[in-house]
Structure 1
Amino acid sequence: MIKTILIAEDDRESNDYLTLFLSKKCQQVLSAYDGQEAWRLYEEYMPDLIFTDIEMPKLDGLKLIEKIRQHDQVTPIVILSAYSDIQYLLQAIPLQLEEYILKPITFDKIDSFLKKMNTKEIKKHSTKVGINKAKETFYDYASKTARIGEHTIPLANLEITLLELLLDNQREIVSYSEIEEVLYGTALNNRNAIKCLVKNLRAKIPTMTIRSIPKVGYSLS
C-alpha cells in the first residue's frame, strides 16, 4: 500500500530515528533536512506519504505543504511538531492534512497512525458503503462521494472526514472531543463548527439520519 515515505525534518537525530523505524514499514524512505530538499525529493519521487516538521530552514513545513497542495490534493501529509499553539493549528487546517502529531514522536504514535492509514486504504478498495439502502443512499470511499440514486452529492473536505468518521463508527456515539481530534488534530472546542458541518451533511444527504446526543456528540443511525 504505502511504498515510499518522505520525511522532512531538520533535526537529524529525529529524522534518523523516524527513517530507521519507517524503513521497516515500507519499501523506501526519503530523508530531507530542509524544506527545499523536501520539495525536490517530492517532485522527483512523488511519495505515497509525507511527514514534515513546521520549522525548517530554507522553506518551512507550512509553505512546503502549500506548494504541494497547489497541484496535489491527494497525497497524505502529516505534520510532526512541538507546537500545540492554536495559531499553527488554524493555519494547518485548510491544507488538508491527514494528521497533526505532536512531539515527542514515539514508535507507538507512528505505528498507530500507519495502521489507521492502512485501514483507510483497505476501505478505499472495498465496495461502497450503504448509508440508507432502502433509499438508495451510498458512500464510496474510493471516490469520496455520496450518492442518492443516480445523484452525486458534492462534499467539502471536512464534511467527508466527518462522514467517514461517523460511518466507521456507525450506530455508536462519536464524542465531540473525538470529532475535534480527527477534524482538527486537537481538542479546539470547536463545537459550533462541528454543528455547522453536521447541519450541512443533513441538508446535503436528507436520507441520512445523524442523531445528536446532547453534550456528548453524534451517532449515525
Structure 2
Amino acid sequence: MDSEALLSLKEACKSKRVLYVEDDFDVRIQTAKMLRLYFKDVVEAHDGLEGLQCFKQGSFDFIFTDITMPKMDGLGMIEAIRKRNPSIPIVIFSAYDTTEYFLKTIEQGISGYILKPYGFHEIVSILEKIVKVLPHEKGHVLLMIEGYYWERATQCLCQEEREIKLSRHERALFDLLTSSKQRIFSSEEIEIAVFDDDLSDNKRVRNLLSRLRQKLGCDLIQSVYGEGYKLRWLHL
C-alpha cells in the first residue's frame, strides 16, 4: 500500500472506536500500539468476559479479539455480541489455522482472521477491506436521505440543524441500523438488539417502526419484503 492509500485509510479510521480483547499482556501492549496508529480510541480488555462487559457499556465501531482466553473465550464473547449487534466488524487474532476454527468463525460472521504471529501489514490489509463496506461518514456523522444524519458519538438524529428527540428504544434501533450500510436487519435481530429482555413479539418491532415513521414524516427506514429493514442512505 502506497503512502497516499495509508493516509486515506487513517482518515477513514481515525474517528472509530475499537474494542481489543487479548489475554497475553505483551501481545496486547504491542498490538494496541499498532491499532492506535489508526484509531484514536482503543479500549483494551484481558479476557472475553471483560470484553463483553466493555461492549455492553460502550459504543464501538470495530472489535479485535483473540480466541483462547480465560473466563470466556473469543467465540463465546462473539456469539453474545452478535445477539446485540449482528453486523459490527470483528477481526480475530489466533494461532489456530485448523478448518474447525475457520468454520466456527465463519458461522459468527467474522470480518477477518489474522494468524499469529502477525505484523503491521496484516492488520492494515484487513482494515483496508473492512472500511470499504462501512456507511459513508463525514466526521462522526452518517448521512441519510431528506437531510437526516446520525451523530454516532452523541447518538443523536438530526435533520439539517434540528435534533429529533428519540426514545431509548429508537436510539438503540438507529445505533443498530447505522452499523452497516449493506445489511438488511431482520425483525428478530432488531428485537434482540433494541429490547433488553427475553420476550419474543415482533409486533413491538412493527409498532416501534410505525411510531418512528409518524414522528419523522418520511420513510427513512426501508422495509425489504421477506427480509427486514435498512436505512435509506444518502448516495454521494
Task: Judge same fold: TM > 0.5, yes or no.
Answer: yes
Structure 2 matches for 1:3-82, cutoff 5 A? 3-82=16-95
Give aligned pairs, total.
139
Indicate yes or no: 2:99 matched with 1:86.
Answer: yes
Give the equivalent residue in structure 1 for 2:181: 142
Contact conserved, 2:21 with 2:46, CA < 8 A, in 1? yes
1:42-94 superposed Cα distances (whole Å, 9 cap, x missing partner): 11112110011110000000000010111210211111100001111111111
Give the equivalent residue in structure 1 for 2:131: 118
Aligned-pair RMSD on alpha carbons?
2.7
Give the equivalent residue in structure 1 for 2:115: 102
TM superposition outliers: structure 1 runs of 4+ over 3 Å: 122-127, 151-155
Within 2, Cα distance between the matches of 1:121 and 1:67? Answer: 22
- SS of the residue corresponding to residue 39 of structure 1 reads helix
CA shift for structure 1 position 123? 6.8
**Which runs of 5 or more structure 2 residues have no equivalent in the other structure?**
1-11, 145-179, 185-222, 228-236
Structure 2: which amino acid aligns with 1:81?
S
1:85-126 superposed Cα distances (whole Å, 9 cap, x missing partner): 111111111101111111112100001111222222367989
Within 2, Cα distance between the matches of 1:143 and 1:106? Answer: 30
Within 2, Cα distance between the matches of 1:8 and 1:71? Answer: 18
Change (3 A) 1:63 1:25: same
Contact conserved, 2:91 with 2:112, CA < 8 A, in 1? yes
Within 2, Cα distance between the matches of 1:58 and 1:71? Answer: 20
Within 2, Cα distance between the matches of 1:154 and 1:110? Answer: 37
1:176-196 superposed Cα distances (whole Å, 9 cap, x missing partner): xxxxxxxxxxxxxxxxxxxxx
Compute the TM-score of the two structures, normalised by the length of structure 2: 0.52
Within 2, Cα distance between the matches of 1:4 and 1:110? Answer: 16
Change (3 A) 1:32 1:142: same
1:193-221 superposed Cα distances (whole Å, 9 cap, x missing partner): xxxxxxxxxxxxxxxxxxxxxxxxxxxxx
1:150-178 superposed Cα distances (whole Å, 9 cap, x missing partner): x95878xxxxxxxxxxxxxxxxxxxxxxx
Contact conserved, 2:89 with 2:130, CA < 8 A, in 1? no
Contact conserved, 2:135 with 2:181, CA < 8 A, in 1? no
Within 2, Cα distance between the matches of 1:46 and 1:86? Answer: 32
Structure 1: which amino acid aligns with 2:70?
P
- SS of the residue corresponding to residue 78 of structure 2 reads helix
CA shift for structure 1 position 143? 3.8
Percent of pairs with identical residues: 34
